[in-house]
């Protein structure tokens, strides 16, 4: 837990340094919903209490966060992916929105703060023995809404 706290402090510091105008106005962070609840919102509250700087967190997803950065809607985009995955997510959003593929500008700096591992855990009473990545994605996106579709009970 101490290491997580260090990562949080480092993340907030980098965000403020990158934002540049952080102390003159509110700071908007667009991007990863994974990061949003885990450390951005709690960190934003703590920072506001300590400094008075307001940080608005928009959990829109990695790709949409990068598009917001490219479009000038935000000074900082937060990703829960590596650079290659972030670029893929960004291109996917642009394509879906009918926009041409974008080259990531050279002046954008990618600061990897930490790596995270997400481990799905199923209750012992659930008869599901294993899940594929596709099934996990389906459960997470709502495409799969019943455990029976992955070998579990009809619920």
| 143 has pLDDT over 60 | yes
Are 102 and 70 in contact by the 8 Å Cβ rule? The answer is yes
Structure tokens at 100: 């041409």
Confidence of residue 16 (pLDDT cuts 50, 70, 90): low
Is 77:71 a contact under the CB 8 Å cutoff?
no
pLDDT score for 13: 53
12 Cβ partners below 8 Å, 6+ apart? 43, 44, 46, 47
- CATH 3.40.190.10 occupies which residues in the chain? 2-96
3 pLDDT band (50/70/90 cuts)? low
Per-residue pLDDT reduced to its tens digit, 37-92 = 888 888 888 888 888 888 888 999 999 999 999 998 988 898 888 888 888 999 99
CB of 57 within 8 A of CB of 32?
Answer: no
What is the CATH code of the structural domain delimited by 2-96?
Answer: 3.40.190.10
Radius of gyration of the chain (CA): 18
Planar angle of CA 36, 38, 42, nearest 5 degrees: 80
Q: How far apart are CA 70 and CA 93, in angstroms?
A: 12
């Amino acid at each position: 837990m101490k290491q997580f706290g260090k990562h949080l402090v480092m993340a907030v510091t980098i965000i403020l340094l990158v934002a540049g105008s952080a102390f003159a106005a509110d700071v908007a962070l667009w991007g990863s919903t994974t990061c949003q609840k885990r450390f951005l919102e709690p960190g934003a509250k703590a920072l506001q209490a300590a400094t008075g700087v307001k940080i608005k967190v928009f959990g829109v997803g990695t790709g949409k966060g990068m598009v917001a950065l490219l479009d000038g809607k935000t000074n900082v985009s937060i990703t829960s992916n590596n650079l290659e995955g972030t670029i893929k997510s960004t291109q996917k959003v642009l394509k879906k929105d009918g926009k041409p593929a974008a080259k990531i500008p050279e002046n954008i700096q990618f600061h990897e703060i930490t790596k995270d591992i997400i481990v799905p855990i199923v209750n012992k009473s659930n008869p599901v023995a294993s899940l594929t990545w596709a099934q996990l994605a389906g459960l997470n996106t709502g495409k799969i809404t019943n455990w029976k579709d992955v070998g579990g009970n009809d619920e």
